[in-house]
Structure formats: structure tokens, C-alpha cells
Chain A
């Protein structure tokens, strides 16, 4: 058992990569390649379930740790580990990848081998971001996600794919250089890239010149993560990347890559720079609220349905940032929960949009209308997922938003009030879109012959719908392990609000009341 515990993260992280390497040796028989990619991603999912299964709840610090000196000079360690926050993000990644393989089954028919190799390499990089505890390793995985994603957009995307891929690549690359500068400064002054070592050095004030540099270090990390989230006004790469990306690319982009930004804010900005986080919180929260409201309003008027869903991500991720910078237990719990919920619902929305695109090759809302008649199953799945994204009680989006808003109200009432309008907006843009796409008369005769979802598509949607329901009905299953890690992360915040932080039982109680038990 111990042997498995010590190596499980390495196995989960590199299984897809090894799968990708093996795929390069495959003959170009598309069918075999697809089945193999599906198999390897399912094995990875199974392996990753070891983590929540054997995770010890309530234990502070990181678990399943693995710390091996990798390069002696500079002092780089192969240091992996997870806590309750990153564990679920890893599982989210391994959960979405097989579904992405399924959804690309038919839509990718050119260069199939390269596509699945890129996807598996991307999975390794994404998991690596969440488990790396060495800043160098983290930066390595962080940049490593860019290349396969940019290639997936640029090679398999739609019309303006090259523009979108280059924009995505440069936007994120330029911003992460600032993070690299901060990382190198920290290494130069501590002689270590290790997150735990640097964190304790900062807490014990053992770094020379830290006080004067801290603000810049904070900003260096912040810019890199803010682009990834994306936070207004650094969000304009996102709609382009989403609209041009193939379906699986959009799912992973919205489902996982955006979470890397919010995860980074939580782990590194709050973890390493608690004082600066608090000092900078007001303007960051303002940006988050602008993201929520402006993202929602822009989503409202999009004529392109995929661009609409892309903008909803800006709005929803604004909620996550707000929750993180409320510095309340309940708010950060909600932020982590919202990350998972958004990964499920928005991932599912993009998959559904991909299905309709395969049939009609357009995302324009005006090309649809009344398609609930030829596609009743599709319309039902769409309604279910849409409601989970809006935040209907008993579905996953509600729990995250509710907790975040509670945290925001605790931090400052006006934050909560302004952010709460975002909930209303989300109902506006999604319901309006649903009405225009699914209800009314069939205005385009071609839509009469639309095929409803086939077996493969249903198989790919059921897990997401079930996950949305499970996360809405029994959030405690997830919050049990998220909550202690969040409270551990919050411990280092000195001062007034510590006393006002509600405990895990408060959170559970509040949720129980809402759910009506």
C-alpha cells in the first residue's frame, strides 16, 4: 500500500504521457487509436480515484507526497503532492479527458493520431500543474500546457484558428514570464524552488529584502494567473480561443485550463503572500465584479452561441476570484467548489455545442430555432446542464455560488450585492439563448432533419449530468476534504476576520438548510 501511496501521483501524472508516446508507434488506423486513447484515459481516471479514496481528511499539509532531488544545481526537486483542493482538480481533469476522447470520436477525422497524442500530453501537463510543489516543476508544467493546447486550436480549429492559437499562446506566455521572474527572485533569495520551504521561509521572515519586493512578486504571480482565469481586462483571448477551438479543446480549456489560474491564485498568491493579498484585495475584487457583470452582459448579446458560453466563463470565474479574495472560509470553500462545478457544467455545455456543430457546422443562434422538436433528448440534456450552469438549487452551480456569495457578504455587503446580480444575469443570457435555439417555430427547414443524440453522445453526457446532480445534492462529499485544506491555507492570515470564519460544520449546516434537510 505504501509503495502505491508514494508513487500514485507520478503514475496518474505520467500515464497519459506514456500513452501518448505509445501512440506514436501506432499504425495510422484511426479506430484503434481512438480506442487506445479512450482506454488510457480511463485507466488514468481509475488510477486518480485512488487519491480521494485513500485521502486522509482533516490532515493538514500535503499528502501522497513525493520529493526526490532532481537537479542539484540549481536546486530543483521532483516534489509532488496534493491537498484537498488540488486533489479534486486532478480528478476533474482525469474525469473530463475520456469524455473529450469520446466527443472527438467522429468530429476529428484528419490527423487523428496527432490529435490524441496532443490530448494525452496535455492531460499530463494539466495534472502536473495541480500536483507540482516545486515552483520550477510547476512552471514547467504550466508552460507545457500551452504547446499542445495551441496546437489543438491551431491544427483542428475552425475558421480563424491560427489567429486564435497565436493570441492564446502569446497572451498566456507573456504573462507567465512575470511569474517566472518572481519564481527566480524567490530562488535567488532562498536557494530553493520548493513551495513548502519558501512558504515557511516567508512566514518566519527569513528572506532578506522580502518586504520591499513582496508587492512586485505578488503582482508577477498575479498577472500570470489573472490572464489564465481570465480576469477583466485580460480576458479577450478566451472568446477567440473558444470559438475557434475544436470541441475537446474548448472542454479542456474551460474545464481545466482556466482552473489553473484560480488554483494558482489560491495556492501561490494567497499561500505565499498573505499580506499583499489582503492589501491588494479591494481592486482585485473590483476586477472580479466587473468580470462577473460585464462578462454576463456581453454574453447576453452574443449572436454566436459558443462565444456566448465562452463569455459565461468570464462571469463564472469572476465568482471564483471573488470567493478567493473574500478571505473567508466559506467564500474560498465556495470558490473551490465553483471551480469543479464550472468544469462540469461548462465542459458539458461545450460538448453539447460540439454535437450540434457536427450536424449543422454553425454556431450562429439565428441558424437555429425550434430544434427541440427534432432533437428532444438533446434539448433535455441541454436544459439540465444549462440549469446547472445557472445555479439551480440541487444542481452543482448553486452550491458554489451560494457559498461564494455568503463569503462575499461576510467580507463586505456591497461585494455580495453586486455579485449576486451575476446570478440573475446568468439566468437571463442562458434562458434567452435556450429560447431562441430550442423553442418557437422551426425557421430553417434543414433543421427538420437533425438527428437526435446517438448512443456515443449519450454515453458521453450521462456522466456529466450525473456529476452535476451529485455535486448539487451531496456537496458534503467534496467539501469534507476541501474544507480542512482551505482552513489550513487560511491559518496564516492573521488578524480580525479569523474569529468570524465559520467552521466546516457551519458550512454544512447552511447547505443542509438550503437543501431542506
Chain B
């Protein structure tokens, strides 16, 4: 008897058997978009790329600048003398400029 009923109802039977596909609809319409947006936009996009990117970038930026500055301190006395001369020139230029005005 139930088998006959199922046969006669056809597609309607499987539809009812699948609980009107409510679960599938719910999964596709609500859960999937939330999970996708949370993963790709909120987590990987904003948190990991945007905010952490800025944080890490500022750290590596400071490191790069320091790496550049480090070159000044080479241990080479002649280059130090050059820097002293350069600094003195800047100071003199500044004083002259100030004095003129």
C-alpha cells in the first residue's frame, strides 16, 4: 500500500520525503553565503589581508628603513669622516642661511 501510494504520487513523494527541500534551500540561501562571506571577506579579506597586512607592513617597513640607515655605520673610518664633513656642511649651510635672513 505505501509503495503504491509512493508510486502514484511520483515526484511529489520524493519532494515530501526530502522535507520539501527546506534543508537544501536553507543551506544554499543562508548558510553557504554566510560561510563564504565570513571566510573570504571578513576573515581572509579584512582581518588577515587588510589589517594584518598593514600591521606587518609597518613592521617590515621599519626594518627596511633601518636596514638602509645601517649602511651609514659601516665601520669604515673614512666613510665616517665623510659623514662628519657632510654633517658639518649641512650645519654651516643652515647657519649661513639663518644668518643671512
- Chain A residues with CB under 8 Å of chain B are 167, 170-171, 233, 235-237, 239, 294, 297-298, 300-302
Looking across the interface, which residue of chain A has its beta carbon closest to that of B62? A170
Are A297's CB and B59's CB within 8 A? no
Q: Are B51 and A301 in contact (CB under 8 A)?
A: no
Interface with A: B2-10, B17-25, B35-43, B75-83, which one?
A: B35-43
Interface of B is mostly: helix
Could you say which of A236, A300, A302 contacts B51, with CB atoms under 8 Å apart? A236
Q: A236-B55, A298-B42, A301-B39 are in contact. List 10 more A-B contacts (CB 8 A).
A: A233-B46, A236-B47, A236-B51, A237-B55, A294-B42, A298-B38, A300-B35, A300-B38, A301-B38, A302-B43
CB proximity of A227 to chain B, nearest CB, Å: 11
Q: Which residues of B contact A294 (CB under 8 A)?
A: 42, 46
How many chain B residues touch A (CB < 8 A): the figure is: 13
Complex: A237 Cα to B35 Cα, angstroms = 23
A297 touches B55 (CB 8 A): no
Task: Please report whether the interface of chain A is mostly helix, strand, loop or mixed according to DSSP.
Answer: helix
For B35, the chain A residues whose CB sits under 8 A away are 300-301
**Would you mind naming 15 contact pairs between A and B with Cβ atoms under 8 Å apart?**
A167-B55, A170-B59, A171-B55, A235-B47, A239-B47, A294-B42, A294-B46, A297-B37, A298-B38, A298-B43, A298-B47, A300-B35, A301-B38, A301-B39, A301-B43
Query: What distance in Å separates the Cβ of B38 from its nearest Cβ neighbour in chain A?
Result: 4
Q: Are B47 and A300 in contact (CB under 8 A)?
A: no
A236/B38 in contact, CB under 8 A? no
Tell me, in angstroms, the Cα distance from A167 to B39 when the chains sit together. Answer: 23
> Does B52 make an interface contact (CB < 8 A)?
yes
CA distance A237 to B55 in the complex (A): 9
B31 to chain A, nearest CB (A): 9
Q: Is the CB of A233 within 8 A of B55?
A: no
Contacts of A233 in B (CB 8 A): 46, 51
User: Chain A contacts of B37 at CB under 8 A?
Assistant: 297
Binding site for A on B (CB under 8 A): 34-35, 37-39, 42-43, 46-47, 51-52, 55, 59
Q: How far is the CA of A159 from the CA of B73 in the complex (A)?
A: 35
Point out the residues of chain A lying under 8 angstroms from B47, CB to CB: 235-236, 239, 298
- Asked if A297 contacts B51 (CB within 8 A), the reply is no
- Residue of A at shortest CB range from B37? A297
| Contact yes or no, B52 A297, CB < 8 A | no
Whether A300 contacts B34 in the complex (CB less than 8 A), given A236-B47, A294-B42, comes out as: yes
Distance in Å: Cβ of B40 to nearest Cβ of chain A: 9
CB-nearest residue of chain B to A300 = B38
The winner among B38, B51, B55 for most chain A CB atoms within 10 A is B38
CA distance A513 to B93 in the complex (A): 80
A294 to B48, CA, bound (A): 13
Distance from A16 Cβ to chain B, minimum over Cβ atoms (Å): 32
Closest to B39 in A: A301
Q: How far in angstroms is the closest Cβ of chain A from B30?
A: 11
Chain A residues, CB < 8 A from B51: 233, 236
Give A29 to B12 CA distance when docked, in angstroms: 74
A300 contact set on B, CB distance < 8 A: 34-35, 38
Determine the chain A residues whose CB is within 8 A of the CB of B52 once the complex forms: 236
Measured CA separation A233–B34 after assembly (Å): 20
* 3 tightest A-B CB contacts, nearest first: A297-B38, A301-B39, A301-B38
Considering the complex, give the chain B residue whose CB is closest to the CB of A166.
B59
Bound state CA distance, A237 and B48, in angstroms?
Answer: 11
Residues in B neighbouring A302, C-beta threshold 8 A:
43
Distance in angstroms between the alpha carbons of A236 and B55 in the assembled complex: 9
CA distance A335 to B33 in the complex (A): 32
Closest to A234 in B: B51
Q: Residue on A with the closest CB to B40?
A: A301
List residues of chain B with CB within 8 A of the CB of A239: 47
Separation in Å of the A264 CB from the closest CB of chain B? 22
CA distance A294 to B43 in the complex (A): 9
The CA of A167 and the CA of B56, in the complex, are separated in Å by 9
Q: How far is the CA of A233 from the CA of B38 in the complex (A)?
A: 16
Q: Which residues of the partner chain A approach B42 to less than 8 Å between Cβ atoms?
A: 294, 297-298
Q: How far is the CA of A170 from the CA of B59 in the complex (A)?
A: 10
User: What is the bound-complex CA distance between A236 and B59, given in angstroms?
Assistant: 14
A295 (CB) vs chain B CBs: closest residue: B42
With CB as the reference atom, state the residue of chain B lying closest to A302.
B43
Query: Nearest B residue to A233 by beta-carbon distance?
Result: B51
Using Cβ atoms and an 8 Å threshold, which residues of chain B touch A301?
35, 38-39, 43
Collect the chain B residues with CB atoms within 8 Å of residue A235's CB.
47
Q: How far is the CA of A239 from the CA of B47 in the complex (A)?
A: 10
List A contacts of B38 (CB < 8 A).
297-298, 300-301
Q: Shortest distance in angstroms between B73's beta carbon and chain A's nearest beta carbon?
A: 24
Please measure, in the bound complex, the distance between the C-alpha atom of A298 and the C-alpha atom of B37, giving whole angstroms.
Answer: 9
| A336 CB, min distance to chain B CBs, angstroms | 28
Cβ distance A174 to chain B, nearest Cβ, rounded Å: 10
